């Protein structure tokens, strides 16, 4: 069996994410002295706690990492992001997915993202903790663990082993709020993948602005793409636009799920942008014969590969620059 670089990237990301998530969850839910220290260390590398305490070093490091490699923070370092991946994966474990469980490209919710980010930034500057604590992904996940999972784990420990532990339960209101917020985020993840990450989360929006210009990014080779849509259906961030063959880097969380599903080796994680080998055939929209402008709206299967065009859109297979 041949191991492809796409598989190595994807499995490397999964292993790193699981290590981080297990360490954070164990640190936040366990009793005693050893594991809770893990949670303290992991909190130090989280973006929002650093932003709220003006921890410039952590913020600058993550911005540089994002500028180089995209939103790897969201795939590996954020336990709420990994939790959403687990929730979204569970109903999609079966081999043949029904169509309603396949991901599809969606337009970015730019206005909602910006409003959410502006709201949280103002709350940080004005010190309004109620807003920041309910939009901070680390806080949301740590409250889910400490208010809900930790008391349950403590009760299980007291039944199964000795000596007993002292269960520190949160208030009923705190527990209810934690369950509601985590429940809504988990449900959104089950339905559509990273919806919270790409609509409400202020960290995701901030990193997204930097990731837009990231050096390494997902790129589609339009000469090889057959428009099979397998990558789009695997993308939990709904950010692969196959009409224009562009991946929205501001929403891509560098999970690499789209790479191994492509049977044509047409999608890559790379620093370069693919140049069309026959650019005149795809740039029909730019051609202005006699002052008119062609439009390709509605052409969903266009490719620079004539054979692919023939197969997908027989009517477009012979598009070429008209003589002027």
Q: Which residues contribute to the site for ligand SF4 (CB under 6 A)?
A: 74, 78, 80-81, 137, 197, 201, 203-204, 218, 220, 225-231, 234-235, 237, 239-240, 242, 247, 252-258, 261-262, 264, 266-267
Count other Cβ atoms within 10 Å, centred on residue 172: 8
Strands 267-270 and 217-220: antiparallel
**CB-CB contact of 282 with 255 (8 Å):** no
Task: Tell me how far apart the alpha carbons of residues 258 and 243 are, in angstroms, rounded to a whole number.
Answer: 16
3-state secondary structure of 269: strand
Least distance to ligand SF4 from the beta carbon of 311, Å?
A: 12
Task: Tell me how far apart the alpha carbons of residues 2 and 7 are, in angstroms, rounded to a whole number.
Answer: 10
Give the tokens for residue 116.
């959410």
**The tokens 């989280």 sit on which residue?**
46
Task: Tell me how far apart the alpha carbons of residues 295 and 283 are, in angstroms, rounded to a whole number.
Answer: 10
Least distance to ligand SF4 from the beta carbon of 205, Å?
A: 8
Which ranges of 223-285 would DSSP assign to H, the alpha helix?
230-234, 258-261
Q: What is the DSSP string of 216-232?
A: SEEEE-TTT-----HHH
Q: What is the DSSP string of 185-212?
A: HHHHHHHHSSTTTTTT-HHHHHHHHHHT
């Amino acid at each position: 069996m041949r191991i492809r670089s796409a598989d190595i990237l994807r499995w490397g990301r999964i292993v790193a994410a699981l290590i981080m998530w297990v360490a954070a969850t164990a640190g936040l839910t366990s009793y005693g002295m050893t594991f809770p220290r893990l949670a303290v260390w992991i909190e130090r590398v989280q973006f929002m706690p650093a932003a709220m305490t003006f921890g410039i070093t952590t913020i600058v490091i993550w911005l540089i990492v994002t500028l180089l490699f995209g939103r790897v923070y969201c795939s590996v370092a954020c336990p709420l992001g990994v939790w959403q991946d687990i929730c979204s994966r569970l109903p999609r474990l079966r081999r043949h997915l029904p169509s309603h469980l396949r991901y599809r490209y969606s337009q970015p919710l730019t206005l909602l993202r910006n409003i959410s980010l502006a709201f949280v930034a103002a709350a940080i500057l004005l010190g309004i903790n109620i807003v920041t604590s309910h939009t901070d992904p680390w806080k949301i996940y740590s409250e889910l663990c400490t208010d809900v999972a930790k008391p349950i784990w403590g009760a299980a420990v007291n039944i199964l082993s000795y000596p007993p532990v002292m269960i520190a339960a949160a208030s009923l209101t705190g527990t209810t709020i934690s369950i509601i917020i985590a429940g809504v985020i988990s449900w959104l993840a089950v339905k559509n993948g990273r919806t919270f990450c790409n609509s409400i989360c202020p960290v995701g929006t901030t990193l997204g602005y930097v990731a837009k210009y990231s050096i390494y990014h997902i790129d589609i080779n339009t000469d090889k793409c057959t428009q099979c849509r397998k990558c789009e259906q695997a993308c939990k961030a709904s950010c692969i636009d196959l009409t224009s063959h562009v991946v929205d880097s501001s929403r891509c969380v560098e999970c690499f799920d789209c790479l191994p599903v492509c049977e044509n080796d047409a999608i890559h994680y790379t620093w370069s942008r693919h140049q069309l080998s026959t650019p005149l055939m795809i740039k029909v929209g730019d051609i202005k014969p006699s002052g008119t402008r062609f439009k390709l709206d509605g052409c969903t299967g266009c490719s620079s590969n004539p054979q692919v065009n023939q197969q997908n859109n027989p009517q477009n297979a012979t598009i070429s620059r008209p003589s002027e």
